[in-house]
C-alpha cells in the first residue's frame, strides 16, 4: 500500500498530459467513450501505467520473502 499514492500521482500526471484537442476532435467525429478510451487515452497513458506496474511488481517481490519464510 505504500506505493499506491505514487501510482495515483503517476496516473493523474499521465491523464493530465493527454492533449485536450484530441478529445475535442473525437467528440466532433462523434466517437463513443470506448473508442475514445481505447484509441486516445490508453495509448497515450500506457507508458506511464507500465512504469507504475513495474514499481508495484518490484514492491511485491520485496515482500515475497516475508510471507514465505
Q: What is the DSSP string of 34-46?
A: HHHIIIIIHHHHH
Query: What's this model's pTM, rounded to 2 decimal places?
Result: 0.75
What are the extents of the domains in the chain?
4-64
Q: What is the DSSP letter of 18?
A: S
pLDDT one-digit tens code per residue, 43-62: 999 999 999 999 888 888 87
**Of 61 and 34, more confident:** 34
Banded model confidence at residue 66, pLDDT cuts 50, 70, 90: low
| pLDDT for position 53 | 92
Q: What is the mean pLDDT of residues 1-30?
A: 91
Q: Please calculate the CA angle 14-44-47 and round it to the nearest 5 degrees.
A: 70
Amino acid at each position: 500500500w505504500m506505493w499506491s499514492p505514487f501510482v495515483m500521482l503517476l496516473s493523474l500526471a499521465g491523464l493530465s498530459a493527454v492533449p485536450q484537442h484530441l478529445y475535442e476532435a473525437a467528440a466532433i467525429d462523434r466517437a463513443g467513450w470506448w473508442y475514445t478510451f481505447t484509441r486516445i487515452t490508453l495509448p497515450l497513458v500506457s507508458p506511464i501505467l507500465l512504469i507504475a506496474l513495474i514499481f508495484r511488481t518490484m514492491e511485491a517481490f520485496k515482500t515475497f520473502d516475508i510471507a514465505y519464510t
